Amino acid sequence: MSLQQPTTDAAAVSDDALRDVVYRKAMLRFMPLLCLCLVAAYLDRVNVGFAKLTMLDDLGFTNTVFGLGAGVFFLGYFLFEVPSNALLHRIGARAWIARIMITWGVIGALMPFVQTPTQFYILRFLLGVAEAGFSPGAMYFIACWFPSDRRGRMLALYLTAVPLSSVIGGPLSGYILAAFADVGGWHGWQWLFLIETIPSIVLGFVVLKVLVDRPADAPWLSEQEAALITADLAREAERNQEYTGFFSALRSKLVWQLSIAYFCIVSAVYVLIFWLPTLIKQHGISDPVQIGWLTAVPYFCAIVASLLNNAHADRHRERRWHTALPCIVTAIGMAVSWVHFDSLLLTMLVLSVTAAAASTTQAAFWSVPPTFLSGAAAAAGLALINSIGNIGGMVSTSLVGWITDLTGNSQNSLILFAGILLVSVVLVVRLPAHLVDR
């Protein structure tokens, strides 16, 4: 027995080394593209916040009109999210994600022609319909390639696109607003919407070329490498027998618990995304380019914090507190942001900590559902959680717009959403550890 032990250990080391090589190949092939796709998606959400800086005066919209228009996007998202992921599971992630991106790019290109509140509402709603299913579809695709002990880091890499879209989109949106104002007789916000839809359409065609639905169909993997990934995922699926069917996820109390928790998280996060440029502008900064660069600072901090937190969660196989603790920090940061500081430096410090914690919460949260959902259940569960969560985006943006018109200060709503975040903390911590902490 003692003579055979070194051979067994050597085989284990060899398998682990091969596993690292194989998953690194998959990561390098898929994750940069998925990140770019999510950046393109979130540019649509970042740019509407910047368009608000001049769009309201040009079109005569109130903050209430803008808040409702920004939020009705999530109604379309909510209504079509689960049906979209059902089609994704049937058709395949590659083709369906490409369809989503090309469709939302075409609809986004119509935004420069908005003249009335009704037109604004209709296009924002259709944009939500077109984009429905994208993010849970991308996360479902990741779950089809990476087992749970690696998935948290992959999801964190994917979701760094959310703060990265603000790091890129903030300065870019500010530059377009300033540099393209009155070019060709168009306002800066019109050019902003048009220019920032182009990447979505281009990337949609790239997705068709690059993504592969199953390891067995990847020509750049050997049979041994494809079999290794398939075996890893099969072993994980055996542990998730309770939730495998499409409708089993929709009936799951845990899925609904996560849906409500994500509703609370998204409600707060989108307050930051949509209103951060306005909070900075309140310090007397009117140059859109300067606002764009300042907006990028908190989200750069968010990228670093998110990657570190999810890597730590993977190593320790712990998900609940890695989600709950940054959520608590976000709530505290939003409550502190309610106070108007005379110092821009102090404001930026608070916003940076808050944005970093908020993005970290989102990235950690999405590593939780795939720990107990697999197959069709993962497609359904991820879609339901995301659709209900994104209704929080509609509620929060609409409510903040109304509160701003009523009180004259958008910061008055921050304390409300800080409290809402604490509800998500309770719901996440009460998840069964034996199902999610692995």
DSSP symbols for 333-390:
HHHHHTS--S-HHHHHHHHHHHHHHHHHHHHHHTTSGGGT--HHHHHHHHHHHHHHHH
| Element spanning 285, H or E | none
pLDDT for res 243? 57
Instruction: Round to whole Å and give the CA distance between 66 and 381.
Output: 31
Chunked into runs of 10 residues, the chain (438 residues) has average pLDDT values of 43 68 92 92 75 83 81 82 86 92 92 91 91 88 87 84 76 84 88 89 94 91 91 77 65 88 86 71 74 78 83 83 92 80 79 84 85 77 84 75 71 79 92 75
CA distance 393 to 340: 24
pLDDT at position 34 is 95
Question: How far from each other are the two terminal CA atoms of the chain, in whole angstroms?
Answer: 32
Q: Which amino acid is at 268?
A: A
Q: CA 365, 370, 374 angle in degrees (round to 5)? A: 160
Residue 278 to residues 74, 271, 272, 273, 334, Cα–Cα distance (Å): 21, 11, 10, 10, 15
Long-range contacts of 115-124 (CB under 8 A, 24+ apart): 115/59, 116/59, 117/61, 117/65, 117/69, 120/59, 120/61, 120/65, 120/69, 121/68, 121/69, 121/72, 124/69, 124/70, 124/72, 124/73, 124/76
Closest CA to 103 of 244, 6, 203, 250: 203
Whether the Cβ atoms of residue 77 and residue 170 lie closer than 8 Å to each other: no
pLDDT of residue 245: 63
Residue 413 in contact with residue 403, Cβ under 8 Å?
A: yes
* Predicted pLDDT at 110: 93
- Residues 137, 85 contacting (CB under 8 angstroms): yes
pLDDT of residue 242: 59
At 206 the pLDDT is 96
pLDDT tens for 31-45 read: 999 999 998 887 776
Give the C-alpha separation, 73 to 86, whole Å: 20
**Predicted pLDDT of residue 340:** 66
Structural contact between residues 264 and 327, judged by C-beta atoms closer than 8 angstroms: no
Sequence-ordered list of residues with C-beta below 8 angstroms from that of 241, at least 6 positions apart, any chain = none
- Whole-model pTM: value is 0.76
Residues recorded for the chain: 438
C-alpha–C-alpha distance, residues 385 and 382, integer Å: 5
CATH of 22-436, one of 3.40.50.300, 3.60.20.30, 1.20.1250.20, 3.40.225.10: 1.20.1250.20
In 3D space, the residue among 37, 39, 47, 109 whose CA is nearest the CA of residue 291 turns out to be 47
- Tokens for 234? 């099969």
Within the chain, how many helices (H) and strands (E) appear? 18, 0
* Non-local CB neighbours of 278 within 8 Å, separated by 6+ positions: 49, 52, 53, 410
Check residue 22 and give its pLDDT. Answer: 92
Amino acid letter for position 112: P
Give alpha helix (H) positions in 92-184.
Answer: 93-108, 117-131, 134-143, 148-159, 161-179
